Structure 1
Amino acid sequence: MDAFLTSLFALLIAEIGDRPQILCAALAIRYGRVTPIIWGLGLATLLNCLISALGGSVVNQWISEEPLRLFYALSLLFAGFGMVLWRRPVDLLEKWTLGPFWTAFLGLFILQFGDKGQFILAATAARTDAWAFAVAGGWVGVMLACVPALLLQEKLAEMLPIKSIRYIGGGIFLMIGTAMVLSAWGIV
């Protein structure tokens, strides 16, 4: 259950105001239909979570606990820096003519691949034998972050202090990651 909750909350926080959430809102505005976009988001997220967790489970078998803690700490540090320092622009896929499901599925799969959430999920799965719980928690976390963007679109940005959430969430990731690095190195 620890892997489920850790993945859920970490990915939920990491995705607030991030590119997948923005792309979901843009696709909902563009197509005017949210159901196929939700299905595309769900499938793309599930595949990315599976790839991440399977990669993490392989790492789990190769290295011991202290390097795993360092791997997890680094994933949080990189996520935190990504949340507070910069944000790359989102390609809204305006030239794609595949329809709402395929545009959402392929666009979000590519966008999420190698993103901070994928590294956090891989590191979470690496620290446990219950990688399936990490998949489920990560999937739920991303869906909880992105589905409101599909339903509320630009109103979500008016309702939530997204910039503050990103700074606070990034700061939390940086603090936890720093503490874990110091612990893994035996400093604290």
Structure 2
Amino acid sequence: MDAFFTATLAVALAEIGDKTQLLALLLTLRFANKPALVAGILVATLVNHGLSAWLGHWLGGQLSSGWGEAFIAASFIVLGLWLLIPDSADDEDPRFDRFGAFLVATMLFFVAEIGDKTQVATVMLAAEFQAPFWVTTGTTLGMLIANVPVVYWGSAIMQRIPLAFAQRLAAGLFIAIGIWLGWQLV
């Protein structure tokens, strides 16, 4: 259960101000069907993070030596530092609007997550915990915790969240995990 709780907390915090959260805000302004947007976010995240967790699980098995574990610990620290760099929204192409809220949200969220901080975090968490199911479940819940309120309450929430504080908190969490993992090696 540590994998589930750590993954949920880490991704919920890391997602604040992330480009996919900005994408959720933009889609909310474009589509009125909020449940379809949430369903699209859910499906895209389950597929993307599920594949990422299995990759991380495999990598963790390959990196089970001391050097591999040190690499994983250092990766958490690097990701924590990366979280301090704010994201910006990618431009969407309105020609996809004809597919409806669910398909547009599914496609755009899946593509936006490729190489994103939360996808990298999913790979690293699965490599560390060797529990791809719990990591996928936790990271998906974390994405929903961060994005569903944006879908339903949009810009009102975004104006109240101290973005810099949330980004520093998420960065601190990843750096602390990296330091803790490094300490376990000593």
TM-score range, shorter chain: 0.7 to 0.9
Structure 1 unaligned runs (5+)? none
Cα shift at 1:175: 4.5
Tell me: CA distance 1:32–1:75, structure 2 relative to 1, closer, same or farther (3 Å).
Answer: farther
Cα shift at 1:144: 0.6
**AA aligned opposite 2:122:** L
CA distance in 2, matches of 1:174, 1:144: 22
Pairwise CA RMSD of aligned residues? 2.1
Given that 1:75 and 1:116 are in contact with CA atoms closer than 8 Å, whether structure 2 keeps it comes out as no
User: Does 2:118 correspond to 1:132?
Assistant: no
**AA aligned opposite 1:32:** A
User: Does 2:26 correspond to 1:26?
Assistant: yes
Given that 1:72 and 1:120 are in contact with CA atoms closer than 8 Å, whether structure 2 keeps it comes out as no
Given that 1:75 and 1:119 are in contact with CA atoms closer than 8 Å, whether structure 2 keeps it comes out as no
Given that 1:12 and 1:144 are in contact with CA atoms closer than 8 Å, whether structure 2 keeps it comes out as yes
Tell me: CA distance 1:162–1:53, structure 2 relative to 1, closer, same or farther (3 Å).
Answer: same
Deviations 1:46-102 (A, max 9, x none): 001111111012113222153453343344233323321342442234342322111
Please identify runs of 4+ aligned residues in structure 1 that moved more than 6 A.
Answer: none
CA distance in 2, matches of 1:89, 1:129: 32
Identity over aligned residues, as a percent? 27
Deviations 1:108-133 (A, max 9, x none): 00001121111211121122342211
Residue 43 of structure 1 corresponds to 43
Given that 1:68 and 1:126 are in contact with CA atoms closer than 8 Å, whether structure 2 keeps it comes out as no
Number of residue-to-residue matches in the alignment = 185
**AA aligned opposite 2:171:** G
Provide TM-score, normalisation by structure 2: 0.88
User: Does 2:150 correspond to 1:142?
Assistant: no
Given that 1:75 and 1:120 are in contact with CA atoms closer than 8 Å, whether structure 2 keeps it comes out as no
Tell me: CA distance 1:74–1:88, structure 2 relative to 1, closer, same or farther (3 Å).
Answer: farther
Given that 2:7 and 2:135 are in contact with CA atoms closer than 8 Å, whether structure 1 keeps it comes out as yes
